[in-house]
Structure 1
Amino acid sequence: MKVKQAEFVISAVGPGQYPEDALPEIALAGRSNVGKSSLINRLISRKNLARTSSQPGKTQTLNYYRINDFFYFVDVPGYGYAKVSRTERAAWGRFIEQYLVGREPLRRVMLIIDVRHPPTKDDQAMYDWLRHHDLPIVVIATKADKIPRSQWQKHVKIVRETLGMPKGDPLVLFSSETGQGLEELWALLDESVDWNEGETLENPQE
C-alpha cells in the first residue's frame, strides 16, 4: 500500500473526543514498550509520526492517526507496566473495554507480542478477552530481527501455543527494523477495511 497522507488527529480521553466521521478503525494493543509506535511508523513509512510516551504505562489516551483520509490507526494505552497502580490498571481496563466493545467503526485489533519471549499473563488475558468478545484479531509477533531466522518458527509456535490460538487464526511475524511481514500485514488490513462498496487500502476512495 502507498500511504499518501498520514496525520496525528487527537489523543482522546473519552467517547466525546472520538472522531465522528465513521471511518474504519484498526486498533493496536500490547504491553507498554512492545513497539506499537514503531509498528505504526513502519506501516506508514514515517520515522516518528507515532511517538512513545516518556512515561510508559501512564498514558490513558487513545491516539488516533488518520491514514489517506480513509481509515484510522488507533494506538491503545499499553498494559502490563509494573509501576502502574491497581487503581490505574482498573481505570485502563474500563476505558479500553468501553472502546473495544462499543466502538462501531472498529474493524480489527492488532495484538502486538514480543516474539523473543513467550506471551505474558497480560498478553494471554488480553487475547482471551478479545476472543471472548468475538473481536477480529491479528497477532503481530514483532522484533523478529532480534532472533536468528532459523529460530523464527520455533518462537512463532511458542506464541501460538501459549495464547492457545486456533489453527488458521492470523499471526504475522514482523520487524519494524527490516520490514519483515509488512506486505502480509497490509494484506490482512486491506481485508479489514474493504467493507464498503469495494474500496480497498491500495486504492482508497477512488
Structure 2
Amino acid sequence: MSNAAVHLSKATFTISAPDIRRLPEDTGIEVAFAGRSNAGKSSALNTLTNQKSLARTSKTPGRTQLINVFEVSDTQRLVDLPGYGFAKVPLEMKKKWQKALGEYLEKRDSLKGLVVLMDIRHPLKDLDRNLIEWAAESNLPVLALLTKSDKLSQGKASAEVLKVKKNLAPLNADIKVQAFSSLKRTGAEQANKIICDWLSTSASE
C-alpha cells in the first residue's frame, strides 16, 4: 500500500470504549495519541484530520475518559487514549483511566506508532517521559508533538525542540520531535506525513 492511499481526512468516529475488551478486533494498524489532559490532544487530532469536530475539544482538560477509535480505512485506525495527569477527577476514576491506557499500550498488537503530545512550555514531565521510555523499550516509533508552539517565538520554539531531542537522544530509539500548533497549523503537514507513513508501511509488511 502506498502512502498516497492514506488520507487522515477520511477518519470517522467508530467507538468509545472503557477498556480494550470493547475495542474493534485487534487486526490492521493503529496509531495512538497520548498526552497529559491539557496537552491539546483533541485539537491536534482535529487539525491532522482536517476536521473541525472529529475529536471533542473542551475548555475542561481531561474530558477524554474513554479510548476513542477513529477509522481511516477498513484496516487503519487512529486511537485517542485517555488523557493523563492534570484532570481534576476522583482518584478512583483516574486509576481506571490509567489502567485502560496501560492495558491498551501493552496488549494491543495492532499498535504501530505512538504520538505523544506535550505542551511546548512544559515538555517531558514524568508521565510523558515514562511513556516515551516504554515505547522505546518496546521498539515502537514515537512522534513527540510539542503543542501550543504559537505561544512562543519561533526561536524559542526551535530551542525547545532541540532541548527535547537532546534529552531523548540517550534512548537511542525511533523518536521524532517537532513543534506543533493547532491554531496556526505549524508542523501539521510533517506530522500528517509521518502518521500516514506508519499506517502505510505497516500495512505493506
TM class by shorter chain equals 0.7 to 0.9
Shift of 1:85: 4.1
The structure 2 residue matched to 1:173, chosen from 169, 175, 179, is 179
- C-alpha change, 1:85 and 1:22, in structure 2 (3 Å) is same
Partner of 2:3: none
After TM superposition, the structure 1 = structure 2 runs for residues 133-172 of structure 1, keeping only pairs within 5 Å, are 133-163=138-168, 166=171, 169-172=175-178
Aligned residues, how many? 198
Shift of 1:77: 0.4
Following the alignment from structure 1 to structure 2, what is the Cα–Cα distance between the partners of residues 112 and 22?
25
Code of the residue aligned with 1:27 in structure 2: it is A
* Structure 1 segments of 4+ aligned residues over 6 angstroms from their partners: none
The structure 2 residue matched to 1:195, chosen from 178, 194, 202, is 202
* Structure 1 residue 127 corresponds to structure 2 residue 132: yes
Query: For 1:29-68, what per-residue CA distance to the aligned partner results, in whole angstroms no more than 9, with x for missing partners?
Result: 0000211111111111111111035763364310011124
Following the alignment from structure 1 to structure 2, what is the Cα–Cα distance between the partners of residues 100 and 2?
24
Identity of aligned residues (%): 34
Measured on the aligned residues, the alpha-carbon RMSD in Å equals 2.5
* Larger RCO (CA under 8 A, 6+ residues apart): 2
Shift of 1:153: 1.8
Following the alignment from structure 2 to structure 1, what is the Cα–Cα distance between the partners of residues 87 and 24?
31
| TM-score (structure 1 length as normaliser) | 0.83
Query: For 1:103-126, what per-residue CA distance to the aligned partner results, in whole angstroms no more than 9, with x for missing partners?
Result: 111110101011122432222232
Which segments of 5 or more consecutive residues in structure 1 lack a partner in the other structure?
A: 199-206
Which segments of 5 or more consecutive residues in structure 2 lack a partner in the other structure?
A: 1-5
> Is this contact kept in 2: 1:38–1:50, CA < 8 A?
yes
Name the SS for the 2:122 alignment partner: coil
- C-alpha change, 1:39 and 1:4, in structure 2 (3 Å) is closer
122-131 vs 176-185, greater mean Cα deviation: 122-131
- C-alpha change, 1:91 and 1:117, in structure 2 (3 Å) is same
Name the SS for the 1:195 alignment partner: helix
